[in-house]
């Protein structure tokens, strides 16, 4: 409330105001000053009431309210800055303390992981009193109950178990089934969507055989979590991002004879998966297949179960589809969900969008194309060339693909000096660029070149079939072979200024077999062919990088990689090289990456929080720094700071001290073996790809400069989230129970 500056003066009797006016109003001026201080005091008194509530209090009052409700920070940083949200949650948690469902809420609020809480004592196999029977508790296994047997050992297991006296929160070996035991199962894998993407026809198996993945490999399908109506209920399979089981996907409609169809809980429009076909089961029909026409099946053997006419067999575990032999559809589009650890590579997740000022936007869509939209990327590119004719200044263009279709075109972009081209996927889409072998006598990569000060950006795509080639100038103006004169002198540099690749997947090995084996493991995903452009790669997955350059042309080009997986498809491969086994003439900057294979670089300016699974060889060691990384033995790098296994080996040697040379050598070997990074999977295409295993040493899982994990998933901050959850579980676990944390995925 804002008052008049003279509100105190107006309260005086009129006689005093009349006498004050001939004197120049000194009394009015004095009361204005007093009124200002009164306003400050009244506002402060009004704030005292607001400071009683966490939603409206000032920042300084948040720690005091936290002390009143018994809030404890989960880290040292929290003792300096207490988050308002944590204190507000603590107030709500106090009201629900002692309930099992609160443990699931804690996991979601504190760690950001979906969870299911389980009390183990109802699952113990013991003789019940006849006067106090509990038919809903754990029962002995029945061989006829295939659904319950399928859940055995999972977080949804409801069969009876023997007593396990080990504690669920033990730091040695953990147990589950005991009277005072409870478990919190966490799902670390996210469920990512793919919408209306073409299914891959596996022609070697038959024209009626398809996979959900456009790359043609087997992929486990995941469910779309559905929020529960009652938050007090324990989470079930439908409300968690679980792997879809064959039994769960099945809905039995007849026992004799046994007939099953797809469960409406998972299949249908807006559900976990759906299949859209054209000209099936007869010509002219188009739309989503009904759940009654989808038969769950085990398609480990493609031809083990022939599909009946008008039906389609679906295996959610392998991600396979089989139609009737004589009823192969003309087109198959699928919507499904796959599992992965983070927003990395091409995917239908939210990405920050930026573009040059004044850039022209050209939208591309394969189906249901609207006005001012194009069906192919080449058409949009050609339109941009026509629009820029006669323009006074170089133009900037953005070609945006607005669907998750597959684009099979020749992608050749040659930019004029000063031009800027951004080829990006629209938000929440994941288009696929499938590079084919169009020409017999020449390779057909995704080719990018340009003149001085030109820029190119690729964002949000999955690129398969070939790699990307960034070419330097071919007219003798740059660092290519034609730039050398008769006397061997190099010409001035030219060509592209910079190339940026963000949130993309350049499939390692170009293609995948059904078991995720790379089709061309020795082929690079990115080739810098005598280009001096600065290449920036962010939040991407790609195969090996090859740099061809003339070292006499000038300084090495810049290669900056952050939050990426650089995969040579095997630890013995070359993740970064010149293509012929020599050092790549490039200055490398790498942060928060996982490198699978050897890295051979001219220089490393900075490498931090990165895992190198194979030796690193650097030609110029006098400059640069490698800090908080895992660098294997046999590497040749610039100076290192707090790297593994160096720190672990030195610590082991210091502890072994006077034990003798042989004992010290054995201690060093044990330290090297202990801190070697272990991964759940190093095959692109698996849900656990690139993720550190639970058995990995703490020097790796908490080895970054901020005590998070090393590698591409550093920014998930999983160690900090897990530690915070453990602290909160100790505070809110029901009395008499010991809660343990188990990873369900």
Q: List, as own/partner pairs, every contact residues 638-643 make where C-beta atoms lie below 8 angstroms and the sequence separation is at least 24, other chains included.
A: 638/603, 638/604, 642/705
- In angstroms, the CA 480 to CA 468 distance is 18
Question: What is the percentage of the chain residues whose pLDDT exceeds 90?
Answer: 55
Rounded to 5 degrees, φ, ψ at 582 are: -100, 175
Query: Would the pLDDT of 269 be above 80?
Result: yes
Residues 205 and 180 both lie in one domain:
no
The confidence band for 169, taking pLDDT boundaries of 50, 70 and 90, is: confident
3-state helix, strand, coil in the chain (%, to 5): 20, 25, 50
- 609 lies in a domain? no
- In angstroms, the CA 361 to CA 526 distance is 27
pLDDT digits (tens, 9 = 90+) for 464-521: 999 999 998 754 444 444 444 333 333 345 678 899 999 999 999 999 999 999 999 9
End of a domain among 340, 366, 393? 340
Which position has the higher pLDDT, 35 or 507? 507
pLDDT of residue 76: 44
Query: Would the pLDDT of 322 be above 90?
Result: yes
Residues 290 and 217 both lie in one domain:
yes
How many C-alpha atoms does 269 have within 13 Å on its Cβ side?
5
* Number of structural domains found in the chain: 3
Query: Would the pLDDT of 3 be above 60?
Result: yes
| Whole-number Cα distances in Å, 304 to 221, 327, 386, 487 | 21, 17, 55, 70
- 284 lies in a domain? yes
pLDDT of residue 476: 40
- 156 lies in a domain? yes
- 503 lies in a domain? no
Lowest-confidence region among 56-60, 669-673, 731-735: 731-735
End of a domain among 300, 325, 340? 340
The confidence band for 443, taking pLDDT boundaries of 50, 70 and 90, is: confident
Residues 211 and 241 both lie in one domain:
yes
pLDDT digits (tens, 9 = 90+) for 444-469: 889 999 999 999 999 999 999 999 99
pLDDT of residue 487: 38
Residues 197 and 325 both lie in one domain:
yes
Residues 208 and 329 both lie in one domain:
yes
- CA of residue 356 relative to chain centroid, distance: 26
Residues 174 and 205 both lie in one domain:
no
pLDDT digits (tens, 9 = 90+) for 194-216: 999 999 999 999 999 999 999 99
Lowest-confidence region among 122-131, 179-188, 566-575, 623-632: 122-131
pLDDT of residue 82: 60
The confidence band for 609, taking pLDDT boundaries of 50, 70 and 90, is: very high
pLDDT digits (tens, 9 = 90+) for 577-594: 998 889 999 999 999 999
Residues 196 and 330 both lie in one domain:
yes
pLDDT of residue 553: 78
Question: Which string of DSSP letters, residue by residue, matches 39-73?
Answer: HHHHHHHHHHHHTTSTTT--GGGHHHHHHHTT---
Average of per-residue pLDDT across 40-58: 86
pLDDT of residue 186: 95
pLDDT of residue 78: 40
The confidence band for 2, taking pLDDT boundaries of 50, 70 and 90, is: low
Measure the CA angle with vertex 49, ends 43 and 53; round to 5°.
130
Residues 202 and 333 both lie in one domain:
yes
pLDDT of residue 304: 87
- 171 lies in a domain? yes
Domain span at 314 = 190-340
pLDDT digits (tens, 9 = 90+) for 628-651: 999 999 999 999 999 999 999 999
Q: List Cβ neighbours of 626 (8 Å cut-off, separation of 6 or more).
A: 604, 606, 607, 608, 616, 637, 638, 639, 640, 641, 643
Which position has the higher pLDDT, 309 or 437? 309
Residues 267 and 327 both lie in one domain:
yes
- In angstroms, the CA 706 to CA 182 distance is 32
Q: Is 326 exposed, middle or buried (0-12, 13-18, 19+ CB in 10 A)?
A: exposed
Q: What is the mean pLDDT of the chain?
A: 88
Query: Would the pLDDT of 731 be above 50?
Result: yes
- 655 lies in a domain? no
pLDDT digits (tens, 9 = 90+) for 376-397: 999 999 999 998 887 777 789 9
pLDDT digits (tens, 9 = 90+) for 221-248: 999 999 887 777 888 898 999 999 999 9
Residues 143 and 209 both lie in one domain:
no
End of a domain among 318, 340, 362? 340
pLDDT of residue 488: 37
- 62 lies in a domain? no
The confidence band for 551, taking pLDDT boundaries of 50, 70 and 90, is: confident
The confidence band for 136, taking pLDDT boundaries of 50, 70 and 90, is: confident
**Residue 8: its H or E element:** helix 7-10
Question: What is the percentage of the chain residues whose pLDDT exceeds 70?
Answer: 96
> What residues are paired with 527 via a beta bridge?
469, 546
- 147 lies in a domain? yes
Lowest-confidence region among 38-52, 274-288, 471-485: 471-485
- The structure's pTM equals 0.88
Residues 220 and 326 both lie in one domain:
yes
Rounded to 5 degrees, φ, ψ at 390 are: 80, 5
Residues 157 and 282 both lie in one domain:
no
Query: Would the pLDDT of 685 be above 70?
Result: yes
Helix locations, 189-299, DSSP H: 246-249
Question: Which string of DSSP letters, residue by residue, matches 435-468?
Answer: -----SSS---EEEEE-TT-EEEEES-EEESS-E
Query: Would the pLDDT of 176 be above 80?
Result: yes
Asked if residues 628 and 641 have their Cβ atoms less than 8 Å apart, the reply is yes
Q: Is the peptide bond before 257 cis (omega within 30 degrees of 0)?
A: yes
Q: List Cβ neighbours of 239 (8 Å cut-off, separation of 6 or more).
A: 114, 225, 226, 227, 228
pLDDT of residue 162: 86
Query: Would the pLDDT of 129 be above 80?
Result: no
Rounded to 10 deg, the angle between the 646-656 and 661-674 helix axes is: 150
């Amino acid at each position: 409330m804002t008052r008049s500056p003279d509100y105190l003066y107006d309260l005086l009797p009129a006689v005093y105001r009349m006498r004050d006016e001939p004197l120049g109003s000194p009394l009015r001026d004095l009361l204005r000053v007093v009124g200002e201080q009164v306003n400050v005091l009244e506002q402060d008194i009004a704030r005292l009431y607001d400071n009683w509530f966490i939603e409206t209090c000032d920042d300084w009052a948040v720690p005091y309210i936290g002390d009143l409700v018994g809030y404890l920070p989960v880290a040292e940083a929290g003792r300096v800055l207490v988050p308002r949200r944590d204190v507000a949650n603590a107030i709500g948690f106090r009201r629900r303390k002692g309930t099992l469902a609160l443990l699931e809420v804690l996991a979601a609020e504190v760690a950001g992981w979906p969870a299911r809480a389980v009390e183990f004592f109802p699952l113990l196999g013991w003789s019940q009193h006849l006067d106090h029977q509990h038919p809903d508790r754990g029962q002995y296994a029945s061989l006829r109950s295939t659904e319950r047997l399928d859940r055995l050992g999972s977080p949804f297991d409801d069969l009876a178990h023997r007593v396990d006296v080990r504690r669920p929160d033990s730091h040695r070996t953990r147990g589950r089934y005991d009277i005072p035991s409870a478990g919190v199962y966490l799902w670390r894998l996210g469920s990512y969507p793919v919408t209306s993407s073409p299914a891959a026809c596996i022609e070697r198996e038959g024209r009626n055989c398809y996979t959900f993945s456009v790359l043609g490999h087997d992929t486990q399908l995941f469910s779309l979590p559905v929020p529960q109506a009652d938050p007090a209920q324990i989470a079930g399979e439908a409300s968690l991002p679980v792997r879809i089981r064959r039994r769960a996907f099945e809905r039995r409609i007849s026992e004799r004879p046994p007939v099953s169809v797809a469960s409406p809980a998972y299949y249908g429009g807006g559900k976990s998966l759906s299949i859209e076909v054209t000209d099936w089961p007869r010509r002219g029909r188009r739309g989503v297949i009904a759940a009654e026409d989808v038969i769950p099946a085990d398609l480990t053997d493609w031809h083990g179960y022939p599909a009946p006419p008008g039906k389609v067999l679906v295996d959610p575990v392998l991600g396979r589809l089989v139609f009737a032999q004589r009823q192969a559809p003309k087109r198959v589009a699928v919507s499904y969900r796959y599992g992965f650890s983070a927003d990395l590579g091409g995917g239908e997740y939210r990405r920050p969008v930026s573009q040059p000022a004044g850039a022209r936007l050209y939208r591309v869509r394969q189906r249901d194309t609207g006005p001012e939209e194009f069906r192919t990327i080449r058409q949009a590119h050609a339109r941009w060339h026509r629009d820029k004719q006669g323009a006074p200044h170089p133009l900037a263009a953005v070609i945006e693909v607005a669907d998750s279709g597959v684009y099979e075109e020749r992608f050749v972009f040659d930019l004029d000096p000063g031009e800027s081209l951004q080829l990006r996927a629209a938000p929440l889409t994941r288009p696929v660029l499938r590079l084919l072998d169009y020409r017999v006598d020449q390779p057909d990569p995704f080719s990018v070149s340009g003149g001085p000060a030109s820029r190119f950006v690729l964002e949000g795509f999955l690129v398969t079939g070939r790699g990307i080639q960034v070419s330097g100038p071919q007219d003798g103006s740059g660092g290519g072979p034609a730039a050398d004169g008769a006397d061997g002198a190099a010409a001035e540099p030219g060509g592209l200024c910079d190339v940026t690749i963000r949130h993309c997947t350049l499939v390692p090995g170009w293609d995948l077999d059904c078991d995720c084996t790379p089709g061309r493991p020795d082929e690079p995903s990115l080739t810098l062919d005598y280009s001096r452009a600065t290449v920036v790669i962010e939040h991407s997955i790609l195969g090996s990088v090859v740099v061809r350059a003339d070292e006499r042309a000038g300084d090495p080009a810049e290669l900056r990689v952050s939050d990426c997986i650089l995969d040579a498809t095997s630890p013995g491969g070359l993740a970064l090289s010149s293509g012929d086994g020599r050092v790549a003439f490039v200055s490398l900057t790498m942060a928060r990456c996982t490198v699978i294979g050897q890295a051979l670089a001219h220089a490393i300016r900075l490498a931090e929080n990165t895992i190198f699974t194979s030796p690193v060889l650097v030609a110029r060691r006098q400059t640069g720094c490698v800090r908080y990384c895992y660098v294997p033995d046999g590497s040749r790098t610039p100076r290192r700071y707090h790297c593994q296994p160096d720190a672990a080996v030195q610590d082991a040697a210091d502890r072994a001290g006077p034990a003798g040379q042989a004992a010290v050598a054995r201690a060093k070997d044990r330290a090297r073996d202990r801190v070697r990074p272990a991964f759940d999977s190093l095959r692109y295409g698996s849900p656990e790809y690139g993720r550190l295993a639970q058995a990995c040493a703490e020097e790796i899982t908490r080895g970054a400069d901020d005590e998070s994990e090393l590698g591409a998933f550093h920014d998930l901050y999983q160690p900090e989230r897990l530690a915070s959850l453990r602290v909160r579980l100790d505070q809110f676990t029901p009395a008499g129970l010991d809660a343990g944390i188990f990873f369900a995925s």
